[in-house]
Amino acid sequence: MKLNDLKGALLDVNKSMELFPNNSYAYRNRALIYIEMGKTKKACKDLESANAWGFTISYGNEVIELQRKYCK
C-alpha cells in the first residue's frame, strides 16, 4: 500500500486472510486499502470484523477511531 500499489496490496492481504481467516490485523489492513480506494462500505465491514476478531484488545483503539471517522 505504501508503494501506491493498492491492487497488489489487496491481493497480498486477501492471501494472508485465506491462510489465517481470523487475523484481525489483516482485516484492519484491508480496511485501510479499501479506504484509500474510496470503498468505505467494504472498509467498514472489515473494521467491524477486525474488532470481532480482537484487534482492539491486541493492538489498541485504531480500528474504533477509523470506524468513527468513516462508518457513520
Q: How far apart are CA 16 and CA 19, in angstroms?
A: 5
Assess if residue 1 is contained within a domain: no
Please report which residue ranges of 1-72 form alpha helices under DSSP H.
6-19, 24-37, 40-52, 55-59, 62-70
What does the pLDDT look like over 45-67, one tens digit per residue? 999 999 999 999 999 999 999 99
> 5 or 59, which is more confident?
59
Containing domain of residue 27, as a range? 6-70
pLDDT at 2 over 70: no
Assess if residue 41 is contained within a domain: yes
Task: Count structural domains, the chain.
Answer: 1
> 15 or 4, which is more confident?
15
Assess if residue 20 is contained within a domain: yes
C-alpha cell at 61: 483503539
What does the pLDDT look like over 21-41, one tens digit per residue? 999 999 999 999 999 999 999
Quick one: which H or E segment has residue 51? helix 40-52
Provide the strand spans (E) within 5-67.
Answer: none
What does the pLDDT look like over 14-24, one tens digit per residue? 999 999 999 99
